[in-house]
Amino acid sequence: MDENTELLPSFVVQGRLLPCDTVRKTFKTPDWKVATMVSNNWIEKSKDAYYVGAAVIGLASAVYWYYKDDAIGAMVRVDKSVPRFKIHNPIFGGLLAMLKNVDESGNLISDEINDPGFDKAKVLTIPFAEPTIFVNDPESVEYITSTNFDNYVKGDYTKARMTDVLGNGIFNTDGHDWFTQRKLAAKILTNRNFKVNIETVFTDNIQIFINVLNQAVQEGQDVDMHSLFHRYFMDSFGEIAYGIEMGSLSKGIPNYVASFDRSQSTMGDRFINPFYRLADMLNPFLKTDVKLIREFGRKVVEDRKNGVHAGNKSDLLSLFMEQRNEDGTELSTDELADHVINFILAGRDTTSQALSWTLYCLYENPAAKAALVKEIDEILGSQLIPEYDQIKKLKYATAVFKETLRLYPSVPREGKLALNNDVLPNGVKIPKGAIVGFCPYAMGRSEKLWENASAYKPERWLNSKQPSNYVYTAFMCGPRICLGKNLAELQGVFTLVSILKNFDFEILDPLVVKQKMSLTLPMKNGLMCKITKRK
């Protein structure tokens, strides 16, 4: 073997591939040796590619197999005996379908857990997040919201997604902080205060509402009832709870109102987007929205402290200002602002959205609308605004409001973090750190819970036997049941009756009425209506 031949193996091993002419001239190598050299080099490279490819395929297969039942990075693994959502994909879980149908996620969840094959529970997972185990039976709902209340909390899962906006308010807390805020709020939500508020605050503000609609009729303008309801309830609740006159119906929409709406959508998106922190960084509105909302809350508090708004000793802000921390110190301006922001959202959004969906349901069900108008005319006679004592006589109007909330609950879904391993009454094992959820939107559409569930039938509420709070979950249930349930029904019926006594309405394009992903259930495109004066 000559010197040039001995160089060949070293050349091949090092992976250097010189042009054939260069090899010949440099090493005086025959053509067959050059061909051998090229062939051997190709084989070596193919082996390397094969090993790398095999490793990649093996790793991908292992990841696929490990995460075929749960999305990649799932914080907790749920027993495989609990079925996954049909939209589940290995690696991504239900993320892709949820993002694709983000504003219709309520219908997506409803279809999954109202499927005839649904048994005890179903799991929805998204990457790098806690899995949610959805239940749909009243016994399990009662268990997680009442029987074993202490084990199922808001926890860090909720706080991480809501604290920048809601702070340490009632919707974002557990334990002592939650109990204290609830106890104080209960003091103003009494029947005595309901009567006073209906006869003063709501009567004054409904007259402003009627004047706005009268002007629209005179000018031939169409109106967005969804927006007007939000402004009306913001004005009313601001006056009841904080003694402030916002005047958004008469003076126009303050700039922070849009921030309230956008921030709720942002917080809602965070519960289905595992990369919400990145989305927050790319959100062009978020920083300004949070700033405006927090400034609004602080201004309400500072104005009260400086005597700009006197309020009264029994309103909600006064009660919170009298409260002391565990060390005896007064609540700071920021702490008080948390309470202002939380209760404004509660007082404004839930009832305004319920009434928006009520108008939509009545438009889609003219027989129910005719029956309601007939009752209103019979009880009110020539009166244009109902009195407090008349509201209790409006049985069908109350049934209409409840039937709407059955199908369009203002809080469409709820989830609680399990602090410890547990077993539900139906035998489903709950691992520590998982989210256990139920969906009032889906429960209201369950044929197992409601006869002819998809039909809009206010008459079902005229029976003497009423469903339990664990079947009709529109106002939540257990110790966290909505404190304002009775007030919401009262002011909802009062407002609905006042509007329909004075006006008729026609939704301009029912097909564009869509849900929007949020903490609550707003309308994505508003509710544009043509208003006419009733004769």
d(CA 136, CA 15): 64
d(CA 414, CA 476): 8
d(CA 324, CA 345): 24
| Strands 414-418 and 152-153, bridge-based pairing | antiparallel
Helices (H), ranges, 306-393: 316-322, 333-364, 366-380, 388-391
Cβ atoms within 10 A of the Cβ of 76, count? Answer: 17
| Strands 152-153 and 122-124, bridge-based pairing | unpaired
Q: What is the largest CA-CA distance in the chain?
A: 120
DSSP state of 132: E
Q: What is the amino acid identity at position 215?
A: Q
With CA atoms as reference, report the closest residue to 270 among 102, 472, 25: 102
Residue 158: what are its φ and ψ, rounded to 5°? -80, -45
Distances (CA, A) of 187 to 17, 178, 198, 325, 459: 87, 15, 17, 19, 34
The beta strand positions in 389-492, using DSSP E, are: 414-418, 422-423, 429-430, 435-438
Phi-psi region of 311 (alpha: psi -120 to 50; beta: other; left: phi over 0): left
Helices (H), ranges, 365-428: 366-380, 388-391, 395-407
DSSP state of 464: S
d(CA 508, CA 527): 8
Distances (CA, A) of 196 to 164, 188, 201, 203, 412: 35, 11, 8, 10, 31
d(CA 454, CA 445): 6
Expressed in angstroms, the distance from the first to the final Cα of the chain is 115
DSSP calls for 34-52: HHHHHHHHHHHHHHHHHHH
Residue with tokens 């949070």: 290
Cβ-in-10-Å burial (0-12, 13-18, 19+) of 514 comes to: exposed
- The answer to whether the annotation marks 482 as part of a ligand binding site is yes
d(CA 223, CA 360): 14
Binding site membership for heme: which residues?
Answer: 482
Residue ranges at the known binding site: 482
